[in-house]
Amino acid sequence: MRTIFLALLTAFALAVVTSCGKDDDAPPAPEENADTTTAGPTVKVSADKTHAVQPGDEITLTIEVSGFTLDPAKMEQTNEDGVGHYRVYLDDASGADYLIEGADNSTKVTVPGDITDGSHDLRVVLHNNDRTPLEPAAEGSVLLIVYRL
């Protein structure tokens, strides 16, 4: 009986010691794998041709966006949250150095005549109605392999 009493007393004392200093008003800790970010607009891009691309080739890009509305009628209008268009850039180009801009789910892009052989990225970057890029940026890309035959 004495052994059971000592075991219960030890368990009680351990419970009291471990609960000391615990703040019951503190918010629960986030789960380790919990997603705490807010998902913004996303862009997926595919192309009808990506290998053995030649200067001057016309490539059809298919563009899928989520969390954003493409609207050509609102280009150069007052910004409206979640509405705008895209610009297509080659490699590291930015700003006004785009190949084409639009708001259709499919667009044709002509490969520049001065493109070098090798790997290149065609990037589709979402822009607001006033032509400023979204912050944070939302873009998708396809890899082109230029190889002159």
Residue 52 pLDDT > 50 = yes
Looking at residue 117, the DSSP 8-state letter turns out to be: S
What's the average model confidence in pLDDT over 50-67?
Answer: 96
Residue 74 domain-assigned (yes or no): yes
For residue 70, the domain's CATH number is 2.60.40.10
Q: What is the pTM of this model?
A: 0.72
Residue 90 domain-assigned (yes or no): yes
Residue 33 domain-assigned (yes or no): no
| Number of domains forming the structure of the chain | 1
5 sits in which H/E element: helix 2-19
pLDDT digits (tens, 9 = 90+) for 10-41: 444 444 444 454 444 554 444 444 444 457 99
SS3 124: strand
Q: What are phi and psi of 119, to 5 degrees?
A: -85, 140
Residue span of the structural domain in which 84 resides? 42-146
From the number of C-beta atoms within 10 Å of its C-beta (0-12, 13-18, 19+), residue 128 rates as buried
